[in-house]
Structure 1
């Protein structure tokens, strides 16, 4: 099946590095994969191409939100205009649905191969945004993209999310089949774990903890005591990763990664491959968050009853493509 994976965690936990390692692991196996940089600090490109000083990145998706809305609204009669479309507007009959890495304007313009992995970026939070916008406004384009994406069997979307509990500041967290929380073996490293688990459990989203920068049995025991059975696997402190962060050329050889860390990536792959996509549940979550946003602010801002954008007879998925 197709799998959408989010990497979350405290800032500095190594979630961007692990997002890149896993995306490269999938791509190296020949699997169709899209990596998405959804962090306010846009460092995924550097992590995907550690041997390059300034890897080329695609035009960011966030500033292109009006064009994204115009494309995805399609001929959906429930959307009166692209301006009335908000980040949570769910697809309906007539909406433009996308295939992963398909031949459409969005993928053609906003995806570039970096380090052998197709990459999409949201864009940086810059000075022009200070005092007038929040970073989640940039993530709105990604939320709409995932809402209109019909990914197929054996395809993967890997998203490096914002740090800390900010990942739950929008409905984007319900767009994933699996969430990996990257945690260092420290109190701060596991501080957001219970928040993530509590929020995710409400929506049936599985959160698994991936220990990172583990240096010995004491570190591993600490993680087990803190998160229990939610600890899926762990990565040890990595000379290979440090070399990658320093831009050494030998890091382009994936087999040079430490055996325990290669094993951990295999565990992540086996775990996501065991997930089952429930399109109806995914759509229900999308509709719920859309109605929340409509009532809270969007109806007033647009001057419309945005509950009318919900098509009660539509469920996204492979059947909807026909």
Structure 2
């Protein structure tokens, strides 16, 4: 299952994604966590100190070798340089398995039972010449080439706001958890996401955060309806984690909320044909709008019409 955590800045998106990763890993489930936020804080939230978190190799810094590995001997892809973020796999491409022995997972850091991958921070060298989507492109390639099986999880902490919709990345997930505070801005992001995702059959569930009582729950429900899955209140355990103190047990009600989220994820059934069809659709859009000009090739020719991502048993 491929899961995204989205929401406005400051909503607690990174905190809740780290709690969900810890919850899955604590149950012994295979999980890869990906920090795709422009502010790279997931490693620290998972328990790394800032120095160790900063030393994790960034996917964005190894994009050429990642592309070279993924293209394998696919005859439709002339070179790594001709691969863009939406390039789909085809016959001859190398596919990924969760935690496999490959150059992508080799960049990960094991932390509290999970494998952490990071896109890399936005640097001074990027200012004025790049956008953050050039870094999250590595995540899109990863998800397009990943064959994840039952009971395996990829949890992506996305960049804040609606930037997720600037590429086809938002269609790569089985479920998006939108973290919303009980405020007008919090539910405003929800409305924006629902509008953007309406034509793509993207599943969105709202997770309330910083909820102080029944009035906050009622406020969220009045604006998001049945999309409100669960909510989190103030937590002494989370505050302890944020202060660098491990070992404080999460409150039973918050633990129950995480388990409800896991069951919601496990209840999803992926439509592999749709997954492939949308990958092709966004690749064609990218090719025609900018990628053909940028690369100097007809990138629609990279689509292998006889290929389908194999479904794991």
Q: Is TM-score (shorter-chain normalized) higher than 0.5?
A: yes
Aligned to 2:10: 12
Q: 1:237-316, aligned counterparts within 5 Å?
A: 237-251=234-248, 256-316=249-309
Measured against aligned partners, the alpha-carbon deviations of 1:183-211 in whole angstroms (never above 9, x if no partner) come to: 01111111110111122231111000000
Aligned to 1:137: 134
Aligned to 1:78: 76
Unaligned ranges ≥5, structure 1 = none
| SS of residue in 2 equivalent to 1:192 | helix
Which range is displaced more, 265-274 or 298-307?
298-307
Given that 1:185 and 1:214 are in contact with CA atoms closer than 8 Å, whether structure 2 keeps it comes out as yes
CA distance in 2, matches of 1:101, 1:250: 27
Given that 1:184 and 1:190 are in contact with CA atoms closer than 8 Å, whether structure 2 keeps it comes out as yes
Aligned to 1:182: 179
Shift of 1:303: 1.4
Which range is displaced more, 228-237 or 124-133?
228-237
CA distance in 1, matches of 2:92, 2:262: 35
Change (3 A) 1:70 1:53: closer
Shift of 1:53: 5.1
TM normalised by structure 1 equals 0.94
CA distance in 1, matches of 2:200, 2:246: 43
| SS of residue in 1 equivalent to 2:247 | helix
Shift of 1:279: 1.2
CA distance in 2, matches of 1:106, 1:267: 31
Measured against aligned partners, the alpha-carbon deviations of 1:223-263 in whole angstroms (never above 9, x if no partner) come to: 11111111011111112111211112334xxxx11121111
| SS of residue in 2 equivalent to 1:275 | coil
1:213 matched to 2:206: no
Aligned to 2:36: 38
1:23 matched to 2:16: no
TM normalised by structure 2 equals 0.97
Given that 1:181 and 1:210 are in contact with CA atoms closer than 8 Å, whether structure 2 keeps it comes out as yes
Aligned to 1:151: 148
| SS of residue in 2 equivalent to 1:249 | coil
Unaligned ranges ≥5, structure 2 = none
| SS of residue in 2 equivalent to 1:154 | coil
Given that 1:9 and 1:182 are in contact with CA atoms closer than 8 Å, whether structure 2 keeps it comes out as yes
CA distance in 2, matches of 1:198, 1:100: 32
Shift of 1:216: 0.6
CA distance in 2, matches of 1:53, 1:122: 16
CA distance in 1, matches of 2:112, 2:126: 30
Aligned to 2:61: 63
Given that 1:55 and 1:114 are in contact with CA atoms closer than 8 Å, whether structure 2 keeps it comes out as no
CA distance in 1, matches of 2:152, 2:126: 34
CA distance in 1, matches of 2:50, 2:71: 38
Change (3 A) 1:53 1:161: closer
CA distance in 1, matches of 2:44, 2:164: 22
